[in-house]
Amino acid sequence: MRAARKGDDEAYRRLLLRVATWLRAVASRGLAAAGRPNADCEDIVQETLLAMHLKRDTWDETQPLQPWLRAIARHKLVDHLRRRGFTDHVDIDDHSDTLAAPASAEEGSALDARQMLASLPERQRRIVEGISIEGQSARDVGVRMGMSEGAVRVTLHRALRALAEVYRRDRT
């Protein structure tokens, strides 16, 4: 995270992927404990990663990273279950001692994420899809859409914030 803050894209990617693996285990067990189908798992993972990313300035560099990650993961899991009408206490501490939790396969369908994207304005959706699904760089997407790289980044940022808002509001 420190390296990522200094401007190392690769370090940030590795961190996000590692956290995603850990989150998958946490979300999957949380869902199982609540008696919910595992289909939502990938959705929770993506929503939590997004929250982590957008709110990364709330991590205090003088504090360890893990409790911060765990707090966000717990918050998002509880939030998700509450929206589905599950109100019991959720405790993720038992199985979140380490980030290197066993990697389980990406089972849950991320169908919802695609529906989420569909609710974004056309331009925002195409940029997220271009970068995520087609794996293009911001510059490539800009060339294709006739926008400057800076404009693509601005729109991408708006899209991510809008996406977080969609996650928060529209799911029942």
Partner 1 sequence: MKTEQFVASLVTDRAWSVRPLGRSVSRAVLAGALVSLVIFALEFGPRVDLAAAFATWRFDAKLALVLSALVAASAACLAMARPVITVRWRWAVLPVLLIAAAALGAELAVVPAGTWETRLVGSNALVCLTAIPLFALAPLAALLLTLRHAAPASPTLAGAACGALAAAAAAVIYAFHCFDDSPLFVFTWYSSAAIPVILLGAVVGRRLLRW
Among 25, 26, 31, 45, binds partner 1 (CB under 8 A): 45
Could you tell me the smallest distance in angstroms from the CB atom of residue 83 to partner 1? 12
Distance CA 114, CA 108 (A): 13
68 near partner 1 (CB under 8 A): yes
Structure tokens at 129: 């899809």
Concatenate the DSSP letters of all residues of 78-125 into one string.
Answer: HHHHHHTT--S----GGG-S-S-PPPPP--S--HHHHHHHHTS-HHHH
Tell me: does residue 51 bind partner 1 (CB under 8 A).
yes
What does the alpha-carbon distance between residue 83 and residue 47 come to, in Å, rounded to a whole number? 14
Confirm or reject binding of residue 77 to partner 1 (CB under 8 A).
no
**Residue number with CB closer to partner 1 (35 or 57):** 57
7 belongs to the binding site for partner 1 (CB under 8 A): yes
Determine the size of the site formed for partner 1 (CB under 8 A).
48
* From candidates 97, 133, 148, 170, binder to partner 1 by CB under 8 A: 133
Q: Is 83 one of the binding residues for partner 1 (CB under 8 A)?
A: no
Distances (CA, A) of 126 to 46, 55, 79, 150, 163: 18, 24, 28, 16, 13
- Residue of 46, 26, 34 lying closest to 109 (CA atoms): 46
Choose the stretch contacting partner 1; rule: CB under 8 A; options: 29-37, 83-91, 92-100, 127-135: 127-135
Binding residue for partner 1 (CB under 8 A) from 35, 85, 135, 146?
Answer: 135
Per the structure block, which two tokens stand in for 112?
A: 């919802």
Helix (H) or strand (E) holding 153: helix 149-170
Q: Interface residues with partner 1 (CB under 8 A)?
A: 4, 7, 9, 12-13, 16-17, 20, 24, 42, 45-46, 49-51, 53-60, 63, 67-68, 71-72, 75, 106, 110, 113-114, 117, 128-129, 131-133, 135, 137-138, 153, 156-157, 159-160, 168
